[in-house]
């Protein structure tokens, strides 16, 4: 995909053009119809997603967790932790998403510390929301 399109994703915005070009080489843009499950809770994690357009809902069992929109990302928890998907993510409008395979994502995570740090910060925040309230 085109490097310039990655500028709309804050996770990649602070990278140099050269770094973004390297990420873009590993990423694809995909159009998604409304209602599609992009990630299913409990399944094995194969891909990472960032949202270019549209919105998606994050649900865990019967519980609504969050709505994610343009510039946000999901699917990082299963890949980083090598654990089953923590929640389902469902398209609530037509969407355009940026998709990376698990191995491409892990390479970016390893080689670009700015990205890795932001991903871990986001995981921490999201994990806090997943913990059962006692």
Among 78, 108, 112, 119, indicate the residue that binds ligand CMP (CB under 6 A). 78
Report H helices in the chain.
10-13, 17-25, 76-81, 102-111, 113-130
Closer CB to ligand CMP, residue 87 or residue 98? 87
- Residue 99 touching ligand CMP (CB under 6 A): no
Instruction: Locate the DSSP E strands across 1-94.
Output: 27-32, 37-39, 47-53, 56-60, 63-68, 73-74, 88-91
Q: How far is CA 102 from CA 24, 54, 67, 89, in A?
A: 15, 23, 23, 17
- Residue 1 touching ligand CMP (CB under 6 A): no
- Residue 65 touching ligand CMP (CB under 6 A): yes
- Residue 66 touching ligand CMP (CB under 6 A): yes
Q: Which are the contacts of 70, defined by CB distance < 8 A and separation ≥ 6? A: 8, 51, 52, 53, 54
- Residue 90 touching ligand CMP (CB under 6 A): no
Which part of the chain contacts ligand CMP (CB under 6 A), choosing from 3-11, 29-37, 101-109, 126-134?
Answer: 126-134
Which part of the chain contacts ligand CMP (CB under 6 A), choosing from 16-24, 78-86, 90-98, 102-110?
Answer: 78-86
Please report, as ranges, the residues that interact with ligand CMP according to CB under 6 A.
Answer: 39, 45, 58, 65-66, 74-78, 85-87, 89, 126, 129-130
């Amino acid at each position: 995909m085109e490097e310039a399109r990655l500028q709309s994703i804050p996770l990649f915005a602070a990278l140099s053009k050269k770094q973004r070009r390297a990420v873009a080489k590993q990423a694809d843009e995909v159009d998604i119809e409304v209602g599609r499950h992009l990630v299913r809770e409990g399944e094995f994690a194969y891909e990472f997603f960032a949202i270019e357009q549209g919105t998606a809902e994050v649900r865990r069992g019967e519980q609504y967790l969050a709505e994610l929109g343009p510039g946000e990302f999901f699917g990082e928890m299963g890949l980083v932790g090598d654990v089953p998907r923590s929640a389902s993510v469902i398209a609530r409008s037509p969407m355009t998403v940026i998709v990376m395979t698990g191995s491409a994502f892990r390479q970016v995570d390893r080689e670009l510390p700015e990205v890795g740090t932001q991903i871990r910060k986001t995981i921490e925040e999201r994990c806090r929301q997943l913990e059962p309230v006692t």
